[in-house]
Structure 1
Amino acid sequence: MLFKKVHLQGIKSGKITFAFRKWQKSSVKCGSLLHTSVGLVEIGKIETISENDITEQDAIQAGFTDKQQLLKSFTPNSKGTIFKISVSYHSADPRIKLREKMQLSEQGFTVLKKKLERLDNYSKQGYWTNKVLLTIKDNPNLHAIGIAKLTGFEKEWLKLNIRKLKNLGLTISHNVGYELSPLGNEYLRKQYFGK
């Protein structure tokens, strides 16, 4: 579930408390937390409603000037059910604190290494994690297409899997490209140079 930046700011400030989506079926669950650029957004009550049930106040609480603007936000000719979703700001993104770690204990290193080995072992691409981390380290702010060319991995697969590295606190995503986090650099230092 994606949000426009202006809506994320509204959710963080508490001005926006609803989101409306037109889907074949709900793609979020009540109680789930979504990683966004402003932090974690919590999904609350989800209900199906008709266009007629949407009020002007609902539209304002969803970040629109009026009901008409909200209805125009749905993809033209989109079919499906309208979902009214309660949203609220939960907390800062925990990955930020994690990725800023400059020190990595032996135990922390071992745990991280096992997680990366699991990603490698369950991938049809084979051992990819270190290859991608080293490519990002050597080419900071390079976009996914560039990393794909250097590594031989398909771009969309790569973007999805770099997100897994980000969830472990090892990479930072920018508007264009990626870089290793302090934790990512520390992990590679320990991996290749020991203490």
Structure 2
Amino acid sequence: MLMRPAELAAIRAGEVDLAFRRWDRPRLKVGTKMRTAVGLVEVTSVDRVPVSSLTAADARRAGAASLAALRQGLDRVHPERPVYRVGLRYAGADPRQVLREAVPDAAELDSIGTRLDRLDRASPSGPWTRATLLLIDELPATRAPELAQRLGRDTPSFKQNVRKLKERGLTESLDIGYRLSARGAAFLDHEGHPRSPATPRPGTPLPHLGAPATRALAARGVASLEQVADLTAAEVQALHGVGPYALRHLRAALDAAGLTFREPSP
């Protein structure tokens, strides 16, 4: 079930607890916990409902601007399909996040190595786990197709492999590309692999904004909040890929850092 970043943020904040979708059949089961960018979102109900039964309260709980806007959105794609009312709630942090922030002891690090050895032996294309971790360490925040090309792999299979590493808490996804987690870095150090020296970027890192907004800012040469503060809000909003969600999160991050957008010239 696809959900926009703004929708996910509202679910986490408790402002949205419903979603409406046109499906040919129920696509989710009650109790399912979906992993999302904000953590776990649990499905609390799935009911088929007639469009005529929708109310203004439903629209508010789904984060729609109005009942009319909710109905228009549902009529935009596959209007012939029935409507399902999906109850949602924020169910806490993604367990993988907790895992990747926990630095394991020597015994657990040996166990991680054993599990990665099994993945390597099961791979029809040969060992890949350490090479993938080292490449992500060398080139964080790099697009998956570029990383896959460096390893001579196709992008879908490369992404599938990275997901296996992420399940073990060794990597984490960024708006663009990946980086090693503290757990992944500790594992490479434990095995004695030569690692790229950390080169922190100057300034305060950008918050998670979504790939389109991150790409738009990167194309403008903006990689920190201090650089964002050199721009007006109108200049940032004019960048293709920067929508209301990204602008709202930039404002909040600037405020937390004691910064603001540059005031427009008179």
- TM-score, normalised on structure 2? 0.66
What corresponds to 2:130 in structure 1? 130
Match of 2:11, as an amino acid? I
Q: Give distance in 2, aligned partners of 1:165 and 1:142.
A: 16
Residue deviations 1:156-195, cap 9 Å, x none?
22223322222211112111111111110111122235xx
Shift of 1:77: 4.1
CA distance change for structure 1 residues 111 and 53 in 2, over 3 Å: closer, same or farther? Answer: farther
What corresponds to 1:188 in structure 2? 188
Any gaps of 5 or more consecutive residues in structure 2?
194-266
Structure 1 position 169 matched with structure 2 position 169: yes
Pairing of 1:27-176 with structure 2 (within 5 A): 27-74=27-74, 76-78=76-78, 79-102=80-103, 104-176=104-176
SS in 2 for 1:73: helix
Q: Give distance in 1, aligned partners of 2:133 and 2:41.
A: 28
Shift of 1:118: 3.8
CA distance change for structure 1 residues 151 and 186 in 2, over 3 Å: closer, same or farther? Answer: same
SS in 2 for 1:91: coil
Residue deviations 1:1-54, cap 9 Å, x none?
221121112111212111112223333221111111221111111111222222
Match of 2:86, as an amino acid? I
CA distance change for structure 1 residues 128 and 70 in 2, over 3 Å: closer, same or farther? Answer: farther
CA distance change for structure 1 residues 69 and 117 in 2, over 3 Å: closer, same or farther? Answer: farther
If each structure's strand is expressed as a fraction of its own residues, which one has the higher value?
Answer: 1
Shift of 1:140: 1.5
Q: Give distance in 2, aligned partners of 1:114 and 1:2.
A: 35
Shift of 1:147: 0.5
Q: Give distance in 2, aligned partners of 1:124 and 1:28.
A: 33
CA distance change for structure 1 residues 126 and 29 in 2, over 3 Å: closer, same or farther? Answer: farther
Q: Give distance in 2, aligned partners of 1:131 and 1:114.
A: 16
Q: Give distance in 2, aligned partners of 1:117 and 1:185.
A: 17
Once the two structures are aligned, what percentage of the paired residues are identical? 32
Q: Give distance in 1, aligned partners of 2:121 and 2:49.
A: 44
Residue deviations 1:92-151, cap 9 Å, x none?
22222221223x223312332233234334444432222211111111111101101101
CA RMSD of aligned residues (A): 2.1
Any gaps of 5 or more consecutive residues in structure 1?
none
SS in 1 for 2:45: strand
Q: Give distance in 2, aligned partners of 1:74 and 1:111.
A: 49
Q: Give distance in 1, aligned partners of 2:96 and 2:18.
A: 25
Q: What is the total number of aligned residue pairs between the two structures?
A: 192
- TM-score, normalised on structure 1? 0.87
Match of 2:93, as an amino acid? A
Match of 1:177, as an amino acid? G
Q: Is the radius of gyration larger for structure 1 or structure 2? A: 2
Match of 1:109, as an amino acid? L
